Amino acid sequence: MPKMKSHSGAKKRFKVTGTGKISRRSKNLNHFLEKKSSRRKRRLSGDSIMTPADTPRVKRLLSS
């Protein structure tokens, strides 16, 4: 049986931190940026940590 492949879309979107948590980009920063305040865009610019409920599903996609 061939090896399992990791999910290519998930590889591009998520990163596993050193402690095993999943890091992801914040939402709401792709388009319609003129109407959003600078303060809001600055707050959204950093990475977020995935919630514990969603972490197992993402880890399964990333495991090869």
In tens, the pLDDT along 8-52 reads: 999 999 999 999 999 999 999 999 999 999 999 999 999 999 999
- Selected from 3.20.20.140, 3.50.50.60, 4.10.410.60, 1.10.260.40, the CATH number assigned to the domain covering 8-26+34-62 reads 4.10.410.60
Give the global pTM. 0.81
What is residue 64's predicted lDDT score, i.e. its pLDDT? 65
Report residue 1's pLDDT band, with 50, 70 and 90 as the boundaries: confident
Give the residue extent of every domain in the chain: 8-26+34-62
Burial 29-57 (b: 16+ CB within 10 A, else e): eeeeeeeeeeeeeeeeeeeeebeeeebee
Q: Is 34 helix (H, G, I), strand (E, B) or coil?
A: coil
End-to-end CA distance of the chain: 14
Helix (H) or strand (E) holding 49: strand 47-49
